[in-house]
Amino acid sequence: MKQQTKIRLKKFLLILLGVAVVFIALNYLPVKPIDQHPFFKNDREGPMVIAHRAGDQIAPGNTMTAIKMSSEMGVDMIEVDLHITKDGEIVLAHDPTVDRTTDGTGYVADYTLDEFLALDAGYHFQNTEGEYAFKGIGVYKPTLREVFERYPDMNYMLEVKHTNPADVHQEIVEKLWAIIEEYEMHDQVMVSSFNQKIINRFDSLAKGQVALGTGREVVFNFTIAHKFFLRNLFQPTGDVIQLPRANKYFNFFTKEMMEGARRLGMDIHYWTINDELTMRQMVDAGVDGIITDRPDLLIEILEEKGLR
């Protein structure tokens, strides 16, 4: 009887040892970090200030007006959304339709460039005082080409919207790559999309020359790997992890998530952070970037803390 007990105990200890070895292998063995892309290198202290839709609460989003305001206030990066017009021009637009943000109706993909540029992009925008301060004064959503021409020294996060018609996904990434090459913006842009296939299509052309975001699928895999102690199973396919603070399933703003990204050599950004309390918490936690509709507020906080 004692012999059987010893055998059972030995088996249990071997199983326990095996579990411990697997746990260590999946979580604590060192991994080779990716090389940091030049896009993410900067000398500033504190997180990068990333103007979401070029500053969606300081001016109508994705407009030249918002880009001008964010640039002048000193943001580190401007995030814009990309759609393609009927005649094949890449323009700044978040929604697949123009209804919510302009005086027009219908799909961006059904407009020619001239028709799109004629829309009043300040028509529906209300400022923090509830005023329609940008209505009827010529605010418009520009082409990506115009943005690069007028603000060639800015850094940009370019989100190729997954809501573009599926049959133009290849066309838009090809034209995007051509514009980046023409203006030599390789080290000043990061290309992202919720659709990982769009990112992969773009990288098949850029071949690592441009910084990449991560699609929903990759972000999901990163989250599962780090929430369920499987982090060494995650293989980076981009340069940065961008997360909301939380959703109904997970809190993403945690030490484990931030450390998990950094051990892989990836930056970690949070979106879309507009309230002062969360901004302060994230600045104090040392996140790499904060994507916000209120870059003015974030810059004020950084200046107060001596980080600008």
Does residue 90 carry a pLDDT above 90? yes
Does residue 21 carry a pLDDT above 80? no
Does residue 93 carry a pLDDT above 80? yes
H or E element that contains 284 = helix 276-285
What are the tokens at 16? 């326990």
Taking residues 31-53, what's their average pLDDT? 87
Contact 229, 211 (CB under 8 A): no
The contacts found for 208-214 with CB under 8 angstroms, 24 or more apart, are 210/39, 210/180, 210/186, 211/37, 211/39, 211/40, 211/239, 211/240, 212/237, 212/238, 212/239, 212/240, 213/157, 213/159, 213/238, 213/239, 213/240, 213/242, 214/238, 214/240, 214/241, 214/242
pLDDT, tens only, 270-289 = 999 999 999 999 999 999 99
Question: pLDDT value at position 12?
Answer: 52
Question: pLDDT value at position 15?
Answer: 56
Question: pLDDT value at position 108?
Answer: 98
pLDDT, tens only, 202-259 = 999 999 999 999 999 988 988 988 888 777 777 888 999 999 999 988 899 999 999 9
Does residue 20 carry a pLDDT above 80? no
Confidence grade of residue 17 (pLDDT, cut at 50, 70, 90): low
Does residue 77 carry a pLDDT above 50? yes
List of residues 6+ apart from 220 with CB closer than 8 A: none
Does residue 19 carry a pLDDT above 50? no
- Cα 294 to Cα 272: distance, rounded to the nearest angstrom: 9
Taking residues 146-171, what's their average pLDDT? 98
Does residue 13 carry a pLDDT above 60? no
3-state SS class at 292: strand
Confidence grade of residue 41 (pLDDT, cut at 50, 70, 90): confident
pLDDT, tens only, 114-128 = 999 999 999 999 988
Q: Where are the domains of the chain?
A: 47-304
What are the tokens at 307? 């980080």
Instruction: Please state whether 269 falls in left (phi above 0), alpha (psi between -120 and 50) or beta.
Output: beta
Q: What is the pTM of this model?
A: 0.90
- Cα 258 to Cα 256: distance, rounded to the nearest angstrom: 6
What is the CATH architecture of 47-304?
Alpha-Beta Barrel (3.20)
Decide which of 213 and 25 is more confident: 213
Q: How far is CA 233 from CA 30, 218, 223, in A?
A: 12, 12, 11
Taking residues 121-137, what's their average pLDDT? 94
Does residue 178 carry a pLDDT above 80? yes
Decide which of 269 and 5 is more confident: 269
Contact 261, 267 (CB under 8 A): yes
Contact 210, 125 (CB under 8 A): no
How crowded is the C-beta side of 10, counted as CA atoms within 13 Å?
6
Does residue 134 carry a pLDDT above 60? yes
List residues with catalytic annotation: 52, 94
